[in-house]
Amino acid sequence: FLMIRRPPRSTQSRSSAASDVYKRQVESLYKYTGIFFTGGDQVQILQTLYNTQNTLRASSFALQVIKKRFFEKQLALMGSSAGTACMQLSPMVTGGESYEAILNGVHFNRSDQSSENLSVDLKGGLGIFQLGYLDSHFGSYGRQGRLPVLAAQLGNLKIKWGFGIDENTGLLI
């Protein structure tokens, strides 16, 4: 089991102990053949694996190692719920319900809208899954309306595929 903590954010707030722990965690990534991303909140997963300053995103060293090993076929990546949603390169659904998505369309700022409205992060997720949109708990939470609305409203991005994944199902790439 490996839990990656957020890297120290600035030189003023870095303690040498925190930096050393982060370095050891990143070095341990070379030992593993697989990583499972659990559910929860995909935005928190991104905040852990990206260095964010202002509105820019830069991959943390941990994410760089994960992606390098994944694309070199040295590391398997799996996810459930938010751990699935965070994998995509395309704009990432961060919340919302089907009915409100159909009525109100896509919202691009998670903080200034109702939790029922379809919210999307246009920057996408971790950039690992590159075949299209991902949505989890598809049938069990009634999310079938979210992907069509997302695809219709963001049609200019020319993303061809949307994958709705449900409990007891998987997508092998």
Query: Which residues belong to the active site?
Result: 81, 100, 137
Give the strand pairing for 34-37 and 76-79.
parallel
How many CB atoms neighbour CB 51 within 10 A? 15
Whole-number Cα distances in Å, 116 to 104, 107, 149: 10, 10, 14
- Are 7 and 22 in contact by the 8 Å Cβ rule? The answer is yes
Q: Which long-range contacts (CB under 8 A, 24 or more apart) does 78-81 make?
A: 78/34, 78/35, 78/36, 78/37, 79/36, 79/37, 79/38, 80/36, 80/37, 80/38, 80/39, 80/136, 81/38, 81/39, 81/40, 81/136, 81/137
